[in-house]
């Protein structure tokens, strides 16, 4: 059974999501605010979080997502009545895996949750047999099982969950030009033209973390009018 944490200050939505996802075979814990969320995360392991963007007590979903991403790459799906494109972009950029506007259809939430969980499992265990669980290049290694990036010198690279997923996609398609639409589809499971800027911002942050000179990148190169290409040389193991 996969465990789901629901964070929403509306008791009707908490009850609705709890009943629906328990009927679908999930274990569900539902809380109303950030302090209760922190208590749950400290004592229980969850497979995904459904997070409302507007919460009481001065905490909002964006701040909470940032807080979670400091220590965890657990999938986060934001549920919110604020259908603002800037909020969506910011939410995805700080590490949310999806963003669903209220009112929503429960079957859509379930479908998107399953997509996120499948994508996470596929990235972590690409062959399903414990083999090929690392991608190694001349400057770093991606440990897919533990979702870690390590420099050639052995130092950890601090990546958000979105940055890690983006780097995995780029590394699995070396020398191939990937459009922004393709990158969005492969990393988010959907094709959303409105979020082109989020792809550019994520690539910019990745360059700062893996390039020797982010202003003149050697690993992730821009292809004007199209997208990006990863040019790192793989190292056989």
More confident residue, 161 or 213: 213
Task: Please state, for a pLDDT cut of 70, what percent of the chain lies above it.
Answer: 84
Q: Beta strand pairing status for 227-230 and 220-223? A: antiparallel
Least confident of 15-29, 149-163, 201-215: 149-163
pLDDT tops 60 at residue 196: no
What's the pLDDT score for residue 23? 96
- Report pLDDT for 88: 67
Determine contact, residues 3/10, Cβ cutoff 8 Å: no
Least confident of 46-55, 62-71, 90-99, 117-126: 117-126
What average pLDDT does the segment 73-87 reach? 77
Output b/e per residue, 11-46; b: 16+ Cβ within 10 A.
eebbeebbeebeeeebebbbbbbbeebeebbeeeeb
Amino acid 85: pLDDT: 66
pLDDT score of 52 more than 70: yes
For 170-174, what is the mean pLDDT?
A: 89
Whole-angstrom distance, CA of residue 20 vs CA of residue 49: 15
Q: Pick the residue with more confidence: 179 or 26? A: 26
Dig out the tokens for 230 from the structure. Answer: 């990863």
- Give the predicted TM-score (pTM) of the model: 0.61
């Amino acid at each position: 059974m996969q465990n789901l944490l629901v964070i929403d200050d509306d008791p009707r939505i908490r009850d609705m999501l709890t009943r629906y996802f328990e009927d679908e075979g999930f274990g569900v814990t539902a809380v109303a605010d950030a302090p209760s969320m922190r208590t749950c995360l400290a004592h229980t392991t969850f497979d995904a979080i459904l997070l409302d963007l507007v919460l009481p007590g001065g905490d909002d979903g964006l701040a909470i997502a940032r807080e979670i991403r400091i220590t965890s790459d657990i999938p986060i799906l934001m549920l919110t009545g604020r259908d603002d494109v800037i909020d969506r972009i910011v939410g995805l950029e700080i590490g949310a895996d999806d963003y669903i506007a209220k009112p929503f259809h429960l079957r859509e939430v379930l479908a998107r949750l399953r997509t996120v969980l499948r994508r996470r499992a596929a990235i972590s265990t690409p062959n399903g047999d414990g083999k090929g669980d690392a991608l190694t290049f001349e400057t770093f290694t991606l440990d897919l099982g533990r979702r870690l990036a390590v420099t050639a010198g052995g130092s950890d690279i601090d990546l958000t969950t979105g940055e890690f997923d983006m780097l995995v996609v780029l590394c699995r398609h070396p020398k191939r030009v990937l459009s922004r639409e393709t990158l969005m589809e492969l990393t988010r499971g959907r094709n959303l033209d409105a979020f082109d800027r989020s792809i550019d911002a994520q690539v910019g942050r990745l360059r700062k973390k893996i390039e020797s000179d982010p202003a003149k990148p050697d690993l992730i190169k821009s292809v004007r009018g199209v997208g990006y290409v990863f040019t790192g040389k793989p190292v056989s193991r």
